[in-house]
Amino acid sequence: MTAVTARAHTNIALVKYWGKADTKLMLPQTSSLSLTLDQFYTDTTVNFVSDLTADEVVLNGQRLTPTASQKVRHVLDLVRQQSDETRFARVSSTNHVPTAAGLASSASAFAALAGAASRSAGLNLSRTDLSRLARRGSGSATRSIFGGFVEWQAGIDDATSLAVPFQEQVDWPIAMVALVLDPRHKKVSSTQGMQSSVTTSPYYPAWKTVVADDLAAIKPAILAQDFTTTGEILEANAMRMHALTLSANPPFSYFNGESLAAMQTVRDLRASGVSCYYTLDAGPNVKVFCQEADLPAVTTRLAAQFGADQVIVAHPGPGIAFL
């Protein structure tokens, strides 16, 4: 059994789940739908070796403490349980995406880890089973096993909570512009924020209905390449998710002043005839959904306001690959 390297890309949820039904198995309260992006990815190499007395995890050149690498070691334990492998692993991972800044670095990281670790241990898992394994490290990682538009079906247990490709080959000229407003770690993690929203927001029960309705509406819109309907749904869904953080007790927000300014800029662009919509995950960074024809107008305006180095253009990306 040898070292294996896997690459997985991040994804941006267009219809978000925001809340776990089971924190141990990482089962979500609702299903969700995402778009895998080409510009943000993680490369991870895993090698099970005999000379270690514990798993060794290096991220971006820095060795992680046992506490910081706890989720990684959990996934490695699951791989050992499923295989004949009993040795500890040497893990080296490079994130080509700001970590913990609302750009889904954990999604690409744990998808790549699931792929590299399982293959290094001699397993040849299907992409469906890889998505289940990746989910145990980070919920959104289940979607990063696949490319293009992906649905994470909530399921009811470990066997049924998994991602399925909705439209892997995207022949629709769309783009997602990432506006990196703050690459630092966020103060409230996604896990903390979700739990607080689920347990304290009086509007959480309505959120489940919102997600079900949005999923039912966005799927035919994507298949029909109906840009306006898709954009309206993903923007409204994001704002309703963030309404849960504002209505939690105590209330909190992932927005900063620049987030609000960027959202207004997108609305201003739309009013001027440029078709574009925004979404945000658990962080201040804004992602702008647009069509290729409107990309110059969107990037020019955002670069002028926030700086060209803050603007990254992404397109639909691929599923997991082994390097």
Grouping H, G, I as helix, E, B as strand and the rest as coil, residue 78 is helix
For residue 27, what is the enclosing H or E element? strand 27-28
Sign of CA dihedral 205, 207, 211, 217: positive
β-strands 88-96, 56-59 pairing: parallel
pTM: 0.95
**Phi, then psi, of 267 in degrees rounded to 5:** -65, -40
Burial of 108 (0-12, 13-18, 19+ CB in 10 A): buried
Q: Are residues 74 and 24 in contact, defined by beta-carbon separation less than 8 angstroms?
A: no
For 202, other C-beta atoms within 10 Å of its C-beta total: 10
Q: pLDDT tens per residue, the chain (323 residues)? A: 689 999 999 999 999 999 999 999 999 999 999 999 999 999 999 999 999 999 999 999 999 999 999 999 999 999 999 999 999 999 999 998 765 455 668 999 999 999 999 999 999 999 999 999 999 999 999 999 999 999 999 999 999 999 999 999 999 999 999 999 887 777 888 889 999 999 999 999 999 999 999 999 999 999 999 999 999 999 999 999 999 999 999 999 999 999 999 999 999 999 999 999 999 999 899 999 999 999 999 999 999 999 998 999 999 999 999 99
Q: Which two tokens stand for residue 202?
A: 């009086």
Residue-wise DSSP of 194-241: HHHHHHH-TTHHHHHHHHHHHHHHHHHHHHTT-HHHHHHHHHHHHHHH
H-type alpha helices, the chain: 70-82, 105-120, 127-135, 190-200, 204-223, 227-246, 257-271, 295-306
Q: Which two tokens stand for residue 66?
A: 């046992």
